[in-house]
Amino acid sequence: MIKVHVYVTLKEGVLDPQGSAVTNSLHAMNYEEVKNVRIGKYMELEVENTKNVEQRIEEMCEKLLSNPVIEDYTYTIGEAVSS
């Protein structure tokens, strides 16, 4: 088994209402140096280490884990985990 780390972020140019609210809140707390916050999702998958694992992860990202209309994804294949 391997651990796969999937990061889903909003596409550039897509407004992020949650990110704007958090930016405003940080400013209210006097963290004026923060210019922008974009909120995304992080997922950890434990996956059997098959031959075409990368291709299958990409399929999962395209079909379900992200919505390609508004989101981009990246993933890294991490350490082996004991099942």
Partner 1 sequence: MKFAVIVFPGSNCDDDMFYAIQDGLEEEVEKVWYTETSLAAYDAILIPGGFSYGDYLRSGAIARFAPVMESVMEEAEKGKPVLGVCNGFQVLLEARLLPGAMQRNKNLKFICRPTPLNVVSNNTMFTTEYEKGRNVTIPVAHGDGNYYCDDKTLEKLKSNNQVVFTYETDINGSAAGIAGIINEKGNVLGMMPHPERAMSDLLGSADGLQLFQSMLKNWRESHVLAP
Contact residues for partner 1, defined by CB under 8 A: 14-15, 17-18, 21, 63-65, 67, 69-70
Q: Six-digit token pair at 20?
A: 């704007």
Please state the closest distance from residue 6 (CB atom) to partner 1, in A. Answer: 11
The conformation of residue 11, written as its DSSP 8-state character, comes to: P
Burial of 12 (C-beta count, 10 Å sphere; 0-12/13-18/19+): exposed
* Amino acid symbol at 29: M
Q: Specify the residue, 43 or 53, whose C-beta has the smaller distance to partner 1.
A: 43
Give me the residue label for tokens 């949650």: 18
Q: Which is nearer to partner 1, 25 or 80 (CB)?
A: 25
Closest approach, Cβ 50 to partner 1, in A, equals 21
Residue 44 or 80 with smaller CB distance to partner 1: 44
